[in-house]
Amino acid sequence: MTDAFYLPDPQRPDRFLSTELTRGPWSPDAQHAGPPSALLGHVIERCEPRPGFQIGRVAVEILGPVPLAPLTAQAHVARRGRSVELIEATLSTDRGPVMRANAWRFKLAEPELPVPEPYVPSGTRPGVEQGSTQPFPSSEPVGFHTAIEYRFVTGSFVEPGPSICWIRIKHPIVAGTDPSPLERTLAAADSGNGVSSVLDWTRYLFINTDLVVSLHRQPVGEWVCLDAVTYPQTHGIGLAESALYDEKGPLGRSTQTLLLGAR
């Protein structure tokens, strides 16, 4: 078995071969949205990089199930600017686009601004060492759930309601590269609806149609913490929201709009 989510195609630099580690919980033939979101982050960061700039927001639109198939990943600068610029990226199969993303890249202040100390919610957030592993509700022997480490501080996959969960990817997003902080965060943030699920996995779907991640600083370390909650509605639309942390403290937020329904 390979040790990466995607393998670069030696014939085409914009093409990546999906491995079994990308498999998601809803279908054995479809990817979890975390790896392809991170792959979009991979190409976004490599799109005409500019020293002194940093990605502050990524909005991913999931156009349909992403098959375990070769993906073409392309990015371009859609709006240039001296202080902020917009990057657009697309993931496509041979049948057409399956995911799109918009990313805002910000110029870092130089010299640094004299801002007050950031607000930190009261209380100490438990560290990863205080979390525990929980079984993932999947019968598949290989998939995204086997390529990730989960440490639940509160809640679990099968305990309905909010949770605090630390997540670490165990493999590179693209073989031969080290996962960047942005890639790690995008891969983890897409699990917000899973770790804070409120419906029975065996009877219902709660599939996200998007993933929006806003970061006010770059995460440090391998672990990303999701303080996640899902807001379901009887008409079949829900929202999953996660406060994102690392070992230093708060680093951003993520949201997912959910389609709720019976399996």
* Residues linked to residue 224 through DSSP beta bridges, in sequence order: 167
Q: Are 8 and 175 in contact (CB under 8 A)?
A: yes
* Angle, in degrees to the nearest 10, between helices 34-45 and 181-189: 150
Q: What is the mean pLDDT of residues 146-162?
A: 93
The pTM is what?
A: 0.94
Q: Are 101 and 76 in contact (CB under 8 A)?
A: no
Closest CA to 214 of 91, 39, 54: 54
- Which residues 6+ apart lie within 8 Å of 129 measured at CB? none
Q: What is the C-alpha separation between 154 and 133, in angstroms, rounded?
A: 11
Contact 171, 187 (CB under 8 A): no
pLDDT tens-digit map of 14-50: 999 999 999 999 899 999 999 999 999 999 999 999 9
pLDDT one-digit tens code per residue, 75-126: 999 999 999 999 999 999 999 999 999 999 999 998 888 877 766 665 557 8
- Model confidence pLDDT, tens digit, residues 163-188: 999 999 999 999 999 999 999 999 99
pLDDT at 126: 81
